[in-house]
Amino acid sequence: MQNIIKKNILDLQYQKYLMIASASLIVSFTYLIGVSISFITKQIRLDNLVDMVILVIFSSAILGICVIIFLRAFFHMENIILILKEI
């Protein structure tokens, strides 16, 4: 009975981290699509240095946070799989 409860808790944690990882991927791709559309519609010009510096800083922050969140969630998911194999 104890193992079943432990497995259920680990399954719930795995689902939580899976949702976090997929949400970070969705945010990343949505951001990249938005930036791509703004380049296509010429709302952001490549020749304006100030705009490009701000875009690079902002993009680095957003994508960096998304990558960190994704990697942490993925790491937790791998650990949960290893724990489940031991049970």
What is the reported pTM? 0.84
- Alpha carbon 54 to its chain centroid, in Å, reads 22
The structure tokens listed for 83 are: 């724990």
Q: What is the pLDDT of residues 51-80, one digit of tens each?
A: 899 999 999 999 999 999 999 999 999 999
Contact 44, 2 (CB under 8 A): no
**Kind and range of the H or E element at 64?**
helix 49-86
Q: What is the pLDDT of residues 72-87, one digit of tens each?
A: 999 999 999 998 888 7
Return phi, psi of residue 5, to 5°: -65, -40
Rounded to the nearest 10 degrees, how much is the dihedral formed by the CA atoms of 80, 15, 61, 36?
130
Say which amino acid occupies 67. Answer: V
